[in-house]
Structure 1
Amino acid sequence: MKRTAPLSVAVAVSLAAGVLSAAGSASARDLAANPHADRGLYGTKTPYAPQERPNTYQKPPKGFSPVFTENVARHGSRAMSNSGDGDAVLAVLGVARERGALTDLGTELGPKVQSLLDAAAALGYGNLSARGAQEHRETALRLEQRLPSLFETIEAEHEPVVVKTSGVARAVASANAFTGGLTAGEPELAGLIKAPVTDKNLLYFHKQPQNADYQAYVASDPDLAAVLAEIDADPRTAEAADHVVARLFHDDFTATLTAPARVSFARSLYQLYSAAPDLSVEAPDADLSRFLTARDAQWFAYLDDAEEFYQKGPAFSGRTITYRMAGVLLDDLLAQAEAKASGSSRNGAVLRFTHAEEIEPLAALMGLPGSTEPAEPGRPYSYRNNPWRGADVAPMAANIQWDLYANAPSDGGPATYLVRMLYNEEETAFKASCKPVATGSSFYDLNELKRCLGHG
């Protein structure tokens, strides 16, 4: 199910025929300097920032050292998928300009939208941006810095580094940026990193035939349609839209816009607003933060988060349609760790690059922070009753990492294997049914994870 369709160019043309108090948000440059600034205003388009300082990680239990690492990562910041929202916004601005109906603020918007569209077109709609590539390069460098002895072993033992992607261009480019970061830090890895292989069943599962039931849910489930319609119909949607257009257009022009047209225009503008920080390198002059107040942006971010929550996240209590398909990815995480522990794999690392449509269901399936609470009947998802936030669950370049540690028993017995999980580079506990090796520890016995995650 898609959000309310953007105001079309055709509607804007029909307008020409007559048919028809809050602080400003952080700018793209501000967000680049401080990635935590107004983080909640951009939803799942939020640029990436690691969520823990390196000097706060727990040390592994005595005698344990890292022997393997694996991840699942969303592609990095990117251009918007198409020009639809920008074209719609420009069309309405054009009609208003012809009528002399733009406010001083409104006259500034068109050139910035055009700059954003030009940058996206030059890059290629949907493609990884320079910021997205940098997100993955820096994440890779931090990975090496966290696990220096592992990468020394990978080099010394010539262990392969396996790379898997969805096959979509931005995921492949993210993989290449990440491995480029690895080799920048450790040039000797270059010959050990395997060429990316495409695995759509693993990393683009939401689009595969075996998940036709999920696709039908998104397209036509009546409960989903009803709850999103109820959320969109909240009076605050129209109020926010009215506030957006009132700042850009004179009253006489605003009066020619129907209420649905105002909402469509405002939501299209919000899509551009939230996409702009991801293109901060390609379009540094396309900062749209002045055109939506923080209050209005937060409301439209909530509407987008509601769609993400019900379409890809915990969704409805008692239903698993949105996330059970991520079992294939959880299976692979466990299988790769087990293969290394059993000696059936020599891989030093397995790196996977995918999309929000896979990260969000995996987070819900694993019960990661923010993804543990579905919505109860008659109580739609809201920021007041649920902790799920797109900016935290699946920002650009979101990642889940498992590090495998082993000891070397002095008596020559079998080694013990422990796993530590990082979620967006923050040490994160597995779900409550999984017991760590000690109270408060971030380390879990691999056999315990196989048991508690339903695979042992």
Structure 2
Amino acid sequence: MKRTAPSSAVVAASLAVSLAAGVLFTAGTAAAQERGGASRVDRDLYGTKAPYEPQGRPGRYQKAPKGFVPVFTENVARHGSRAMSDGEDGEAVLAVLRRAQEQGALTELGARLAPQVQALMTAAAAVGFGNLSGRGADEQRQTALRMEQRLPSLFRTIAAERQPVVVETSGVARAVASAGAFTAGLTAGEPALAGAIKAPVTDKNLLYFHKQPQNADYQAYLASDPDLAAVLAGIEHRPRTAEAARHTVGRLFRAGFAEALSADEQIAFARALHQLYSAAPDLSVEAPDVDLTPFLTTHDARWFAYLDDAEEFYQSGPAFRGRAITYRMAGVLLDDLLAQAAAKAAGTSGNGAVLRFTHAEEIEPLAALMGLPGSTEPADPDEPYSYRNNPWRGAEVSPMAANIQWDLFAKAPAEGRPAAYLVRMLYNEKETAFKSSCRPVSKGSYFYTLDELKHCLAHA
């Protein structure tokens, strides 16, 4: 994919948009719902391009057991909403529309599409293809503010004692900009934190591991695994794909032009249009008047989103039963989560927080490795993944700005008793149980001893 570094002006503009927001993002989703981009009922139409929605319930989180106070927090977060990676889909759609216009073959609906696509392309080019959008910056800023509001005593201590807030990224521009927006959110909520936040460092082995040499076997799987190729081809070539493409084309072009397009051309056009449809909500700040929802019916958009989800499921998610090629490489990230919490508990680390910013290709395998909700079921070789037989959904597992957070709580030592440590996990800000092999401190609790996690997750 093309990765264009953002100019300093673009980054500054994105942060300015973020810092101007005066309400939490949960309130800010109303505009996106009006555009059809982020309402919970329609999130499956957008797959992993779905804008972020926090899943937690403020004021309803479990209280830590008596005597335990937060002493450390760490996260792994996907970058926020962004512009599409390149202009290929937009150019492909515009090329077909131009041909149809020259032949007088556009329907009334079809005649409205090109200006919308062009406006979206203009907005993406202004941000920089692949770069963090204004909405993405605000997603990160608001997530940071909510983190701070959940752990006020911890962040007051971090600020007062200048405990380091470590920031790590993949080094890709949108991840770096996401880190900047997140830490800007922290300092907006608590200005005294500015002196504790360290400059971001790049760690590709930790946060861009799917592209690194040590995972050549995974890269070979993507490029040439026969089972992967066969299952994705089988899903792509189901009759419903051609049917959805024909229906989409038939709504936009007059009969003669539509019938002259081959089945492959119709599918390519419809899938490219869906990619733009999925990308539009992520650019809602830069292109507020773009609305591509009229050009794909909900029924057709859901099918194309399923095709995208199937690719993500088999390429980065639970994939095939009995094979761990897609997610075992995330062990380096799980090990680091455990190591950072253990170092804080052991007193060998003075960090107050460790913040990591990465990509869907890292969040999805980590979710599968940890057995997080929606990522527990691989597919049987003779029963391909579908929405009917598997709970995995890109919009829930790894939307834009998806995040996994661990909070470490400590209880001071008393006579004859050492200090004790508990961990709570939030997944997209919702309290989430660790895998079933991990035992919480009591039935129904979201708190686990650190020693229990070291044991039950060490060989995940």
TM-score range, shorter chain: over 0.9
Name the structure 2 match of 1:401: 405
Kept in 2, the 8 Å contact 1:27–1:289? The answer is no
Name the structure 2 match of 1:212: 216
Name the structure 2 match of 1:100: 104
After superposition, residues 165-176 of structure 1 pair within 5 angstroms as 165-176=169-180
Match of 2:280 among 276, 279, 285: 276
Name the structure 2 match of 1:419: 423
Kept in 1, the 8 Å contact 2:36–2:42? The answer is no
Match of 2:253 among 244, 249, 254: 249
Matched residues in 2 for 1:300 and 1:451: separation?
41
Change (3 A) 1:32 1:190: farther
1:25-63 Cα offsets, whole Å, 9 max, x none, are: x99552589642411110000000100211111000000
After superposition, residues 428-443 of structure 1 pair within 5 angstroms as 428-443=432-447
RMSD over equivalenced CA pairs, Å: 1.5
Matched residues in 2 for 1:329 and 1:123: separation?
30
Matched residues in 2 for 1:361 and 1:404: separation?
23
Change (3 A) 1:91 1:66: same
Kept in 2, the 8 Å contact 1:31–1:37? The answer is no
Check if 1:53 corresponds to 2:68.
no
1:50-83 Cα offsets, whole Å, 9 max, x none, are: 0021111100000000000000000000000000
Change (3 A) 1:28 1:144: closer
Name the structure 2 match of 1:231: 235
Q: Which consecutive unaligned segments of at least 5 residues does structure 1 have?
A: 2-25
Match of 1:306 among 300, 305, 310: 310
Name the structure 2 match of 1:344: 348
Name the structure 1 match of 2:396: 392
Matched residues in 2 for 1:183 and 1:156: separation?
13
Match of 2:86 among 60, 82, 89: 82
TM-score (norm 2): 0.92
Check if 1:200 corresponds to 2:204.
yes
TM-score (norm 1): 0.93
Would you say how many aligned residue pairs link Structure 1 and Structure 2?
A: 432
Match of 1:265 among 240, 250, 269: 269
Matched residues in 1 for 2:127 and 2:252: separation?
29
Given residue 410 of structure 1, which amino acid in structure 2 is its aligned partner? A
SS in 1 for 2:59: helix
Matched residues in 2 for 1:28 and 1:94: separation?
30
Deviation at 1:413, TM superposition (A): 3.3
SS in 2 for 1:104: coil
Matched residues in 1 for 2:39 and 2:200: separation?
30
Matched residues in 2 for 1:412 and 1:162: separation?
34
Name the structure 2 match of 1:160: 164
Matched residues in 2 for 1:243 and 1:142: separation?
43
Check if 1:181 corresponds to 2:180.
no
Kept in 1, the 8 Å contact 2:317–2:365? The answer is yes
Name the structure 1 match of 2:20: none
Deviation at 1:442, TM superposition (A): 0.1
Check if 1:64 corresponds to 2:68.
yes
1:414-455 Cα offsets, whole Å, 9 max, x none, are: 211000000000000000000000000000000000000026
Check if 1:293 corresponds to 2:300.
no
Change (3 A) 1:383 1:33: closer
Kept in 2, the 8 Å contact 1:35–1:47? The answer is no
Given residue 403 of structure 1, which amino acid in structure 2 is its aligned partner? D
Matched residues in 1 for 2:226 and 2:444: separation?
43
Question: Structure 1 vs Structure 2: percent identity of aligned residues?
Answer: 75
SS in 1 for 2:109: helix
Matched residues in 2 for 1:452 and 1:331: separation?
12
